[in-house]
Structure 1
Amino acid sequence: MTSNTRDYIYIYDEESHKIIVIDGETGEEIDQKEDRVTSLLRYFSEEGETAKLRKFAIWCAHQTNRELKPIQAKMLDLAEKAVYGKADTPQLETLYQKTEGTAVATNTVGLQHGSTNAPAFLATRECVNPDPYQGALQAARFHRLWADLVARETSDEESAQKSYLREMEVSAAEQTIQNTEQKQIDRLLDLMNE
Structure 2
Amino acid sequence: MLHAPTVADDTVRRYYYIYDSRTVRTLVMDRVTGDEFRWEEDVRLPLLEHMVARRSERYLRRFALWCARQVMPHDVRAQTEEAGHGDTPTDIARYLIAAVQGDLDSGGITACRDEARQTTVDAVVHAATIGLSQMNPEAARLLSAQSCTHPDATQAAMDAAHMAERYAEFVAFRRREEHHDPSRVPTPGEAVRNMRQRQIDAILDHLIEDLG
Same fold by TM-score, threshold 0.5 exceeded? yes
> CA offsets per residue over residues 76-118 of structure 1, 9 Å max, x none?
2221122233451243223212222221111122111110001
The structure whose residues are more often helix, as a share, is 1
Change in 2 beyond 3 A, CA 1:51/1:27: closer
| Counterpart pick for 1:20 among 28, 31, 37 | 28
Change in 2 beyond 3 A, CA 1:41/1:18: farther
1:119–1:143 CA contact under 8 A, matched in 2 = yes
Unpaired runs of 5+ in structure 2?
A: 1-6, 77-89
**What RMSD, in angstroms, separates the aligned Cα atoms of the two structures?**
3.1
Residue 102 of structure 2: aligned partner: 81
Structure 1 residues 163-182: aligned runs within 5 Å: 165=183, 172-182=187-197
Identical positions, percent: 23
Structure 1 residues 1-194: aligned runs within 5 Å: 2-3=8-9, 5=11, 7-8=13-14, 10-14=16-20, 15-16=22-23, 17-23=25-31, 28-29=34-35, 31-33=37-39, 34-46=41-53, 49-66=56-73, 69-86=90-107, 88-158=109-179, 161=180, 165=183, 172-192=187-207, 193=209
CA distance in structure 2 between the partners assigned to 1:20 and 1:35 by the alignment: 13
1:111–1:119 CA contact under 8 A, matched in 2 = yes
CA distance in structure 2 between the partners assigned to 1:45 and 1:75 by the alignment: 23
> CA offsets per residue over residues 95-143 of structure 1, 9 Å max, x none?
2122222211111221111100011001111222222221111000001
1:9–1:112 CA contact under 8 A, matched in 2 = no
Change in 2 beyond 3 A, CA 1:87/1:153: same
**SS of alignment partner, residue 168 of structure 2:** helix
Worse overlay, 55-64 or 12-21: 12-21
1:52–1:191 CA contact under 8 A, matched in 2 = no
- Which AA in structure 2 matches 1:97? Q
2:97–2:145 CA contact under 8 A, matched in 1 = yes
- Which AA in structure 2 matches 1:65? M
In the superposition, the TM-score normalised over structure 1's length comes to 0.78
Deviation of 1:154 after TM superposition, in Å, equals: 1.9
Deviation of 1:45 after TM superposition, in Å, equals: 4.4
